[in-house]
Every structure is written in C-alpha cells, then in structure tokens.
Amino acid sequence: MMSTLDTHGGTNGSARTASPAVILGRLIGTELRLVLREPLVLAFVFAFPVVTVLVIAGSFAAEDAPDFFGVEPAQWYVASYLAVVIAAIGLVMVPVHVASYRERGVLRRFAAAGFPRWSFAVASIIVGVVLTVVASAVMLAVAAPLYGLPPVERPLWTVAGGLAGAVAFTSIGLLIGSLVPTARAAQAVGLLAFFPSFLLGGGGPPPDVMGDGLRRMADFLPLTHVTEAVRDPWLGLGTGAADLAVVLAVLVVSALGWWRAVRL
Amino acid sequence: MNTVVEVRGLRKQYGHRTVVDGVDLDVAEGEIVGLLGANGAGKTTTVEILQGLRRADGGSMRVLGLDPAVDGQRLRTMVGSQQQESALPDRLRVGEAIALFRGPRSAPVDGLLAAFGLAGHRRTAFSALSGGQRQRLFLVLALLNRPHLVVLDELTQGLDPAARRDVWDAIRALRDGGTTVLLVTHYMDEAEALCDRVVVMREGRVVDAGTPTALVDRHAPWATVRFTPPSTSDPVDWRAVPGVHGVERDGDVVLVHGDRTAVAYVCAELVRSGPVPTDLAVLMPDLEAALITLLTPGETR
C-alpha cells in the first residue's frame, strides 16, 4: 500500500504540537463551527427565549398587570430574558456537549494530543459567551419592534452582570457535564435545573404573583441573581452589585469544581 | 540504540483491585514492541500511564527521557497516540480534524491522507466515515506531527481483514521510516506480523517477553508432520521415531506430533520407507498457540 512515510520525528525532546494559544484559538473556531451544525441545539438556544419572551411579555403587558417595580412589564421581561439565554446555554447546551465528549473519548483524545488541560474548558466558556451575545441580539431584535428596548441606565454594570452570568453558567454547565456519567444523564440533569431556574429565576411569572415560598426559593437560584445583575442596572433599579457578587461567587465555585472534575 | 521507554516496577490500583502489578518494559528507538494479553490484562492502563493520562501508584518510568507523571503535558506533545474507544465529534470533518491537531512541523498532509486512502475525504464528517476510515484517520492524526513515539491501542479492532492488512502495511512503513511504535493488541497474528518484540501481560504482570519466534520456541516447541503414506511404502512405527510424542490418523492421513527435531527424523523415515508422499506438510505453531499455552493456566500440548 505504501512505502516509507515521511513522519519520523527522531528522539530529541522538542514539542511537536501547536502552542497553547494556537490550540485554544483552533478549539474556539472548531467548537463554534460544530455548534452551527447542531440545528436542535441552535433552535433551543435561539428560539426558546424568543418565543417565551413574546408569550410571557405579551401575557403580562395588560392594563391590570402586577407590580413590576414601576417598570413597563414588557420592558421588564425584555431585560430579564438575557438571563434565559444564559441559562439555556449553560444548563442545556453545555452539559450535554461536555458529557457527550467525555462519553465518546473526545476529551481524552484532546489530552493525548497534548492539548492543555484548561484549553477545552476555556474554549467552551468563550463559545458560551459568544453564543450568549448572538442569541441575546437575536432575542432583542425580535422583541424591539413589538415592545421597544428599554434604555440601558447603567451600561457597565449591565454588561458586567451579563458577562459574569454567561461565564458562571457555562462553568456550571461544564461542571454538570464533567460529573454525570452520560450525555443522556446530562440532558436530564440540565433540563431539571433549567426549567425551575427559568420559571422562578426571571423568565416566569413576576415576583408579585409568586407566593413567599416561591420567592424565597427563587432567591437560592443562581439564575435569579444573574437576572437581577442584568435587569436592575439596565432598568435603573439599582447597580445589581450584590447580585453580581453572588454570580461571581457561583462562577468561582463552579470553575473550581470543573477544574477538579474536568479530565482532558 | 537509544531507549525510548524504560519502565521499572510499574503499579496501578483501582480501589483494592491491582490492574498493573510490577511491570518492567523497555522499548528501544526504532522498534515495534507489542503489548499482548487478554482483555483486562492491564495493557491499556499501562500505556495510558506512559502517556501521563493516568497516574501510577508505584514504580519508575522514563518516556523519551521524561517522567510522564511530572512532564505529561510536554510528553504528550511528542507522542502520537491512537486510543482505544475514543472518537471525534460527529460533525467534525476530516480536514478540520487535521487542522485542529496539526503542529507547526507536521508531516505533509496531502501525502499522509493519500497514504491512508483518505485523500478524497477532507470534507467528509467523522460520522460519515466507515470504521476502517475512522481508524485510518486516527492513524493519520497519530502520525501528523512527526511523533518520536507512536502508541497504538487496539488499532485494528473492528476492521475487516482487508482494512487490517492496509493498516499493517502502514505500520510497516512507519518502521521503515524509523519511528518507534508501542502497539497494544490482543490479535496474535497482528503482533506476529508487525512486532520486533512482544511483551505478554496477564493480570497486570509481565509473564514473558521476547521476539515472536523466541516466544513460540519457548512456549510452543512442537511441530506436526501431516502426510498420506503411499500404499507401496513400508509400514513405519512412527511412535518409535526420535522426538515423536504422538500419532493421529484421519482416514488415510497421518498426523505425527512431536518436538521440532521430530520433523527431520520423520522426513528421513519417509524417504527411507519408500516413495515419498505428495501431500507432505509441516505444521508449525504460531504466536497464538504459544500465548494460549502461556496465558491459559494448565494448558499444555
């Protein structure tokens, strides 16, 4: 079939693979390309927030709407739904993706090829942030003609909240994907985490119509704090600093978790 | 000749189960060394430790002059690895996989893809490749960056015979190019066809090592001479021939079993007794027969 192959590297101790920065760049590019080839994942990440924000914002935009802290209900939801995009990526897309890679030995192949241990996780976080930005833009572009976009009162705090939330939830997704045994289990755990977070943490009924028990429960959900860290500075209800601190704490804990759990 | 892999007393436990138990292993530059044994013998764990993918519980090792436990990351950039039960993302195309794994001093990609029959598949998704094409792609990726050492774990598992032969040709071409290969397999014919030396493992231990021929000589030192005696030849008491251990008859066909020296004596006796048979065949044991003896407790011939 073949004669001598031109593949012999000798035995001197120099590395043969690309530099860590190049590997990271290639992983980001590859992962983004692969996401674009997953129509079901894209549909969930892009369409679910759009459809639900239209339904929920439309439902609570009536004259006799509950109290939204003096804010126009539709604009309240538009500002809240960035967190739904973040949750969809972090709790549904990332865990299944990571668990599937682990299950099929893809991460092991990356490790055996000399990819740094952190490279896949960092690439996933960057891809998560990029998707958050794009999916949020799509959601806002659909919502804007119908409900208008509320002015961003405190842009730096709003961006910080969104960015910290996207990184924290991608980290949570990495952690779930690193701990569960299979991709199917990751899907189950991810959806189990997503829907209560979505309903209680910002995408569901307004706090005014929730009972005390549900509101207390919502306070324990990381997504509630992401929602408030984005929405409060956006709508001028506050800086969202306390919520941002909680989100950053979640980010650190989940990042430490996957750093221990992710085995390339 | 430089030593590429040097392992002494390697140990690994999972809980209370010892899976690698005092393994010694040497691989010299340019050798193809086979790690053989039944499933669960500890072969894959051993090579994963050597690549720094798992931590050993004891023993010492140097691979390309590095300690995998300390310099695993650097070591893995120098080793080409094909792993058992690992895959690529389904929607990743062949050309994209090459671009992802390619280093700055990679082998010529076009030549490598052509050599492994993948030249026309750059845009084919991993999920659309056949089992044989996937294995050949893994081989391409293992060789892509001109590795100092190539570790191939069950490379031909699941391949049809023609695809296996193609992969064997590729590995022979590697040897001709001077690449050092550590080959994990439980296919004895593969080891016999490819390996300069084999190391046989059972229950985490090395039970023997040497060239395939030496192992056959040590553990299957017998031969069988098969023939149909012509009707005009003199009757012979084959059991009395030196080196013969037993005789079987299958219709007119006679099977004379004995040690290797018996072959010459039996043939001499055939010449002496009259017209020589026209269907004479000498059946020599292969590596598989030797390893069945070695790995199966109480198995003798």
Question: What does the pLDDT look like over A183-237, one tens digit per residue?
Answer: 999 999 999 999 999 999 888 877 777 788 888 888 899 999 999 999 999 999 9
What count of CB pairs under 8 Å joins A to B? 134
Chain A interface test: which of B105, B134, B145 (most A C-beta within 10 Å): B145
Domain boundaries along the sequence of chain B: 3-217, 221-284
Percent of chain A exceeding pLDDT 90 equals 60
Which pair of structure tokens corresponds to residue A263? 């085995």
Helix, strand, coil shares of chain A as percentages rounded to 5?
75, 0, 25
The span from the CA of A83 to the CA of A154, in Å, is: 17
Domain pair B3-217 / B221-284, same fold: no
Give chain A positions within 8 Å (CB) of B194.
none
Query: Measured between CB atoms, does A59 come within 8 Å of chain B?
Result: no
Q: Which residues pair with B23 in a beta bridge?
A: B10
Candidate from B66, B87, B146 with C-beta closest to A106 = B87
Pick the CATH number of B221-284 from 1.10.4080.10, 3.30.70.100, 3.40.225.10, 3.40.640.10: 3.30.70.100
Measured in angstroms, the CA of B18 and the nearest CA of chain A are apart by 22
Residue with the larger pLDDT of the pair B5 and A53: B5
Give chain B positions within 8 Å (CB) of A123.
none
Can you tell me the mean pLDDT for A146-156? 90
Low-confidence ranges of chain B (pLDDT < 70): 1, 297-301
Q: Whole-model pTM?
A: 0.82
Residue with the larger pLDDT of the pair B257 and A60: B257
Query: Measured between CB atoms, does A40 come within 8 Å of chain B?
Result: no
Of A255, A221, A224, A260, nearest to A125 (Cα)? A255
Chain A interface test: which of B29, B64, B86, B135 (most A C-beta within 10 Å): B86
Measured in angstroms, the CA of B215 and the nearest CA of chain A are apart by 29
State whether B147 and A16 contact (CB < 8 Å): yes
DSSP-based three-state secondary structure for A112: helix
In this prediction, residue A262 has a pLDDT band, given cuts at 50, 70 and 90, of low
Question: What does the pLDDT look like over B194-242, one tens digit per residue?
Answer: 999 999 999 999 999 999 999 999 999 999 999 999 988 888 999 999 9
Instruction: Please give the pLDDT value at position A64.
Output: 61
Angle at B96 between CA B94 and CA B102, to 5 degrees: 100
Domain boundaries along the sequence of chain A: 26-61+68-261
Residue with the larger pLDDT of the pair A8 and A109: A109
Residue with the larger pLDDT of the pair A2 and B139: B139
The span from the CA of A82 to the CA of A140, in Å, is: 9
State whether A114 and B73 contact (CB < 8 Å): yes
The span from the CA of A234 to the CA of B295, in Å, is: 71
Instruction: Please give the pLDDT value at position A5.
Output: 60
State whether B170 and A1 contact (CB < 8 Å): yes
Residue with the larger pLDDT of the pair B21 and A263: B21
CA distances (Å), A48 to each of A56, A165, B267, in order? 12, 18, 83
Q: Is the pLDDT of residue A163 over 90?
A: yes
Of B187, B202, B159, B151, nearest to B32 (Cα)? B151
In this prediction, residue A101 has a pLDDT band, given cuts at 50, 70 and 90, of very high
Q: Is CATH 1.20.1440.230 the classification given to domain B3-217?
A: no
Instruction: Please give the pLDDT value at position B127.
Output: 94
Instruction: Please give the pLDDT value at position B262.
Output: 94
Q: What is the DSSP string of A164-204?
A: HHHHHHHHHHHHHHHHSSSHHHHHHHHHHHHHHHHHHTTSS
Of A90, A164, A5, nearest to B114 (Cα)? A5
Chain B interface test: which of A3, A5, A262 (most B C-beta within 10 Å): A5
